[in-house]
Structure 1
Amino acid sequence: MNISKSKELFSKAQNFIPGGVNSPVRAFRAVGGEPLFIKKADGAYLYDEDGNKFIELINSWGPMLLGHNHPMVKEAVINAMEDGTSFGAPTAREVEIAELIVSMVPSIEKVRMVNSGTEATMSAIRVARGFTGRDKFIKMEGHYHGHGDSFLIAAGSGAMTMGDPDSPGVTKGTAKDTLIALFNNLETVEELVAANPGEIAALILEPVPGNMGLCLPKQGYLQGLRDICTREGIILIFDEVMTGFRLAKGGAQEVFGVTPDMTTLGKIIGGGMPVGAYGGRREIMEFVSPAGPVYQAGTLSGNPIAMAAGLTMLKHLNSNPAVYDELNHIGSTLADGIKSINKELGFDYTVNRIGSMYSLFFTSEEVYDFETAKTADTVLFGKYFQAMLKRGVYLAPSQFESLFLSTALKDELIDQILSAHKEAMVEILGL
């Protein structure tokens, strides 16, 4: 596979961009080699600058639910651009998409548009603090809520240990208000609540985490969190930037039947354009300026291009619920096929899946939290990534990222992916 143009671009990029990329995981450091520079995408395929073609299973990290460059979304963007790209003033589309989000997501009675998932989660925590008058919040070990200072905190030796900054530039003062619990472990949450009575404003988590690889909540876990937060007056925030509108019209909260107080959204609500949102109960959202005292603003919030793309996407999903049956079929066919091949080859590597999200972990351990995810063999995953890339399948360049599927993956493409998987496993395991 010729990647000379990508190599040249990466070399040049490192002179002007930190690490040569604008987001760390793109650098391929976790899988070896150098990143491919993408020229275009269409349907289920990516095309790099050297003309190589790949079936891809990332879909821009989630938003391309219908595949890349979907004609319907593309047309909406082009039409919107005829009227201008940014106004910094209210538009009709903002009202229409807000009304649609409220109708689709169980927890949201009012919603504020922002420009990224990071903005959404940062804002949600600020509003929760303002609403409750409390400073501290709980996050789960291994869950990613963007790169806001408060979220870049690692767990200490146990859930009762104060978090330490996980990145230079994050202060100890910021870290002291972030408490770390363990996913799928209600006891650690109860311990934190008991140790910090009346001080915890919010508990934020990915109801289905995808940033330590895909993990699933255990039976009763999300409802247990709901019960604790209700009892203690803690704002329960579901970060559904990845799962919102992907697992169902109402996201993970619809699938699991647990309604949080606030929800953060992104990715799919922009149809591929940069966008984020946060929303929740009416009385909480009324604390947001200008209705209330909690300040949050953004020049490009509700950008007309992003609103046009997102509105088109959400209207399609709202009126075509069979999309989710199709996505579930694609996800189950692919994940079950991988399990079957692994079993045939004599390996019991863990495959976690829900709907159109899945992860293959190179470990035989059950993976249900950050510690069990870390039992995966990352060196072997790197070899697998390169072996799949060589066979024309583009995966997330990290063991600890979920894959995101689209309706563009028809049965013949799934067969090609499974064939590539078998060949790659034979190669890397020396069978």
Structure 2
Amino acid sequence: MSKNQALFDRAQQTIPGGVNSPVRAFRSVGGTPRFIERAQGPYFWDADGKRYIDYIGSWGPMILGHVHAEVLDAVQRVLGNGFSFGAPTEAEIEIAEEICKLVPSIEQVRMVSSGTEATMSALRLARGFTGRSRIVKFEGCYHGHADSLLVKAGSGLLTFGNPTSAGVPADIAKHTTVLEYNNVEQLNEAFAAFGGEIASVIVEPVAGNMNLVRATPEFLQALRDRCSDYGAVLIFDEVMCGFRVALGGAQALYGVKPDLTCLGKVIGGGMPAAAFGGRRDIMAHLAPTGGVYQAGTLSGNPIAVAAGLKTLQLIQKPGFHDQLAKQTKRLTDGLTAAAREAKVPFVADALGGMFGLYFADKIPASFAEVTQGDTKRFNAFFHAMLDAGVYFAPSAYEAGFVSIAHDDAVIDATLDAARGVFAQLAA
């Protein structure tokens, strides 16, 4: 028995499903999860000592690659001062100033410890600011596991949303309206029907949890226009795409300014850190200056802030995002060419350091289109690439991530493996 299997069997005795986040369990692809022991640059090694080229990057944070020397040094320099204080530090001010400088729409920012905390808090703030209850989200966008967000579409546009998780009361789900991503007509209908009730619209401007799906410019502009028309708060969830698709996030790329922005992953440099921020007049409603309560013992943790601040400084080097985008596109172009040569239906897309792989005839623009892909073929591809030492996301509904450490040699090794795998799939 492999050590990975032995660890998985052992984990299931004390951890539900043997994992602390569901996608890690490999349920959608089958097989045994890999238990990781260490990582370096673009690689990590499992409990059996096998090395993999890593294309999840801890689901986004490792934009510099694993254990970057300067980030490691920044963390080591603060470790001896204490792990947590429960009191303010100067470093919290420094990372807040850096975020406000880099993200066009953020005038003030509040640090938290996870993306779920960021989105949950931003929605509470939007409700407190507007005095309204209804929120609008989009099918296929994941904004963390807060009750109001674990909701799927009702049977029609004007019906209540339905909980997608046990434990979410229908009375909470009814305040969430779920629309189709990139559907401007449906958005306009929703605002016409109950625009005065909508506190907030929350959206991933570049979705990463139904695989990579880009918002159209027209869709994002319609969101901005309708929220402005009706006094609703527009929230961009850039936990995944923030600093990944561009230095200023997707909002800088698209030129659309939200009222609030949720950030995570990259801003922690691999440590548990996230944030939400935006217009000063809205942020003023947060306690202690306003009536919307939000708190966290580990918010602004000095170790996480050190890792995140150094990461944000390093990604501002001239040409960083151009090189990251170049390597990501080199990967997706190479995979597409290999699939075409083998005559396997496959397309790929890349934006900044994020990418999507689809066993389909066209790049999807909505969750419904994503679900039309060939998941059986994806699963076969995933396991064959895993055997070849390449670790893609263990789900056909997750985006992938490239780091600046993925150089030409790493991409070439990936494509060499992929050519053999696509040939197998065509047989």
Q: What is residue 243 of structure 1 aligned with on the other side?
A: 241
Within a 5 Å distance, the mapping from 1:9-408 to structure 2 comes to 9-318=7-316, 320-408=317-405
Distance across 2 between alignment mates of 1:32 and 1:242: 25
Distance across 2 between alignment mates of 1:323 and 1:107: 22
CA deviation after TM superposition for structure 1 residue 347, in Å: 3.2
CA deviation after TM superposition for structure 1 residue 62, in Å: 0.2
Distance across 2 between alignment mates of 1:379 and 1:29: 13
CA contact (8 A) 2:44 2:51 kept: yes
* Per-residue deviation, residues 367-411 of structure 1 (Å, max 9, x unmatched): 110000000111111111100001010111000000010011110
Structure 1 segments unaligned to the other structure (5+ residues): none
Q: List structure 1 runs of 4+ shifted beyond 3 angstroms.
A: none
CA contact (8 A) 1:117 1:146 kept: yes
CA contact (8 A) 1:135 1:201 kept: yes
Distance across 1 between alignment mates of 2:290 and 2:43: 46
| TM-score relative to the length of structure 2 | 0.98
Distance across 1 between alignment mates of 2:165 and 2:53: 34
Q: What is residue 424 of structure 1 aligned with on the other side?
A: 421
CA deviation after TM superposition for structure 1 residue 227, in Å: 0.8
CA contact (8 A) 2:388 2:417 kept: yes
CA deviation after TM superposition for structure 1 residue 160, in Å: 2.8
Distance across 1 between alignment mates of 2:102 and 2:362: 36
Cα 1:233–1:285 shift into 2, 3 Å: same
SS in 2 for 1:22: coil
Distance across 2 between alignment mates of 1:246 and 1:82: 31
SS in 2 for 1:179: strand
Distance across 1 between alignment mates of 2:374 and 2:304: 39
SS in 2 for 1:68: coil
CA contact (8 A) 1:160 1:191 kept: no
Q: What is residue 413 of structure 1 aligned with on the other side?
A: 410
Equivalent residues, number? 427
CA contact (8 A) 2:347 2:357 kept: yes
CA contact (8 A) 1:331 1:405 kept: yes
Distance across 1 between alignment mates of 2:25 and 2:422: 24
CA contact (8 A) 1:264 1:278 kept: yes
CA RMSD of aligned residues (A): 1.0
SS in 2 for 1:41: strand
CA contact (8 A) 1:138 1:178 kept: yes
CA deviation after TM superposition for structure 1 residue 189, in Å: 1.2
Structure 1 residues 213-222 or 283-292, which shifts more?
A: 213-222
Distance across 2 between alignment mates of 1:85 and 1:277: 19
* Per-residue deviation, residues 97-144 of structure 1 (Å, max 9, x unmatched): 001100110110000000000000000000000000000010001100
CA contact (8 A) 1:129 1:135 kept: yes
* Per-residue deviation, residues 278-305 of structure 1 (Å, max 9, x unmatched): 0000000000000111000000000000
Distance across 2 between alignment mates of 1:310 and 1:47: 24
Counting aligned pairs with the same residue, the percent is 52
Distance across 2 between alignment mates of 1:263 and 1:106: 10
